Amino acid sequence: MCPMFDLTGKIALVTGAASGIGEAVAHTLSGAGAFVYVADIDEEKGRLVAGAVDNGEFIKLNVAQRSDCISAAAHVNLRHGRLDILVNNAGIGHVGTILETTGEDLDRLFAVNVHGMFELTKVFIEGMIERKYGVIINIASIGGILAIRERLAYCTTKFAVVGFTKCLALDHALDGIRANCVCPGRVETPFVKSRLAEYADPEKAYREMSSTQAIGRMGTPSEIAASVLYLASDEAAFVTGTALEIDGGFSVGK
């Protein structure tokens, strides 16, 4: 019997893969047999991750630049002739209510979190349609399902990611393409740790952030990566258009 979640022979690309959730996803997909393109704007860290995965290659990619997306697709198609799995993970955040958010802040988040996802998906999806096969997994947030205080710009973009995913799934279900998104709760990533260090009382802030999950802790990048592996695999062949909440119960009482 073949092992579950076997991605042997699949070609995957993960954005924002130099650290955090993206790094964990790159390792997890590679460990399941996929060749993984580690895509990130941070070349130094990205190359380290690409060198550490079982089978992968680094691509320098700023998803907010359409020319970078076109170049990435051209490279992948020249090297492998196709992309089977696209994981749109790259994203940025912002803290503030509407009073503390400028139009420039909103534009900056949309450029990466939404427009970048749109452009990269667009350059790969035609090839997926031609082959009648493709898996697209977008990393959204529990902030794309529920409002979070003082995260207006961030939640606005993540709600857009959920809608984008559902529209992709509906439009291209008969083209052999599955599109899903993962909505993590708070995850203990290097980015979150660096933000915690900015608080006057980092330990108190850590406890407060952990307590927002019903199970009393933040998630780990590997736990989010496990959900991505499932959605990428043939075991999830009947799953499309879903927003999978991996949030430790963050949303249970909301």
Catalytic positions, written as ranges:
154
Q: How far apart are the first and last CA of the chain?
A: 42
Distance CA 194, CA 97 (A): 21
Bridge partners (DSSP) listed for residue 56: 36
The sign one gets for the Cα dihedral 139, 159, 204, 214 is negative
Q: Are 140 and 161 in contact (CB under 8 A)?
A: yes
Distance CA 210, CA 230 (A): 25
User: Tokens for 177?
Assistant: 């393409």
Bridge partners (DSSP) listed for residue 138: 88, 181
